[in-house]
Structure 1
């Protein structure tokens, strides 16, 4: 017991703890790779002034690129896919939608544990093993996420223009004309409008919801509004 306490308060232990208190910021899901490599590197090299700089350099050098990949895969893409599927199942009245986020969280927990073991096994090789694959992984994840989100737009935004007009004895439907130009054109326009307005100053997702509610009230009563305007003129 005395030997354990002596090691716990040894200079090397203090040096290691001080090293781990330095600034470190990356996507939490990717941090386990770096932490595992950090521990492996300390075991391989030992703790001294030169090795401390090498270990700190590894953490500093990896946290930026790994944050880029992690934010893309585990934040943007993950949230878009998981919660889009959840929303779609909820709209269909399927209770399975409640379990999708739970399953996703369990999967992420397993991935984080696996990442730690990979980092522990790779050590300093981690920087070289992943450096060439970073851009490819990020680009592939972005393509996958955009494809899934694009496919979800016409399924989740189910709006059709209930607007007709007469040319002589022929009644024309605006929606059928839009479908000939491009199917699901209006859902796409609403999605692009949402992304565009979110980039404006003082705009956030909560305010966007109220904007979309107002837009829905206008678009849902488009035919009566047009009839009222036509009666005036």
Structure 2
């Protein structure tokens, strides 16, 4: 850019406005576009203060359908802020209408093209890894009656994702549109996602073994009166096999039928009552 119209304070205040409300205004028609546009409003007002017609077009441009995970979407917010600033400078310099229109298309297409990939990254890292790990760390403390176990995971979670969102917004604005392309094309981001996925699976396995309780009481005696239990046999083959089987059964049911949690809970209750009645578990 030849000139900077926006200050660091402008970018930070706009991002805070975006981050505080982007998920609040979600609707089926525009998803989170209203929150994105609301955050962008101070930037647009400053960039197009002397051009009401361009300001109107900018508002309309950012009210188009938009849906992305809020934290990683902060990078899109920063990039769009930088592109809008560059577009405003081009207008001031008298660049041709054709070039302005092409640049406008870049802004709109960039949002549409990036919101899907970044949403996948955000859901995997933030919601699929960081949050479950924090919850699992505080579950044992909650079982001991520690009051902070019900508050601290959410407080830490809020601080972590807010700091990450701020960092991504600043990087997006500073580096511009090339930054996200470098991130997505880099092999490191794929390594990060794979590492987080493996770590998430590890934590889910540990939680399943620790908190899912299922065992069988089936037993028998041999000819000389020695009693054996089916549970002991299973533990020798594969410890915690039944809890793991229960977790996978529920997982495959959700994958096939969808997240029908009430039906799952009722099924678990019926299963427990029937198998306990027949002396199986």
Q: Given that residues 163 and 222 in structure 1 are in contact (C-alpha distance below 8 angstroms), is that contact kept between their aligned partners in structure 2?
A: no
With CA pairs under 8 Å and 6+ residues apart, which has the higher RCO, 1 or 2? 1
5+ residue gaps, structure 1? 227-233
Q: What is the root-mean-square deviation of aligned Cα atoms in Å? A: 2.5
Equivalent position to 1:114, from 167, 176, 184:
167
Change (3 A) 1:85 1:118: same
Name the residue aligned to 1:22.
64
CA shift, 1:68, in A, is 1.4
Change (3 A) 1:84 1:16: same
User: Within 5 A, what are the aligned runs for 1:202-213?
Assistant: 204-213=260-269
5+ residue gaps, structure 2? 1-45, 92-99
Change (3 A) 1:93 1:185: farther
Alignment partner of 1:36 is 2:78: yes
Name the residue aligned to 1:185.
241
CA shift, 1:145, in A, is 0.9
2:66 aligns to what SS in structure 1? coil
Alignment partner of 1:172 is 2:228: yes
User: Within 5 A, what are the aligned runs for 1:33-72?
Assistant: 33-46=75-88, 48-72=100-124
Q: Given that residues 69 and 137 in structure 1 are in contact (C-alpha distance below 8 angstroms), is that contact kept between their aligned partners in structure 2?
A: no
Name the residue aligned to 1:230.
none
CA shift, 1:174, in A, is 1.5
Alignment partner of 1:96 is 2:148: yes
Tell me the distance in 2 between the aligned counterparts of 1:45 and 1:7.
14
Count of residues in correspondence between the two structures? 221
CA shift, 1:148, in A, is 1.0
Change (3 A) 1:62 1:203: closer
Tell me the distance in 2 between the aligned counterparts of 1:70 and 1:131.
13
Change (3 A) 1:85 1:221: farther
TM-score norm. by structure 2 comes to: 0.70
CA shift, 1:35, in A, is 0.6
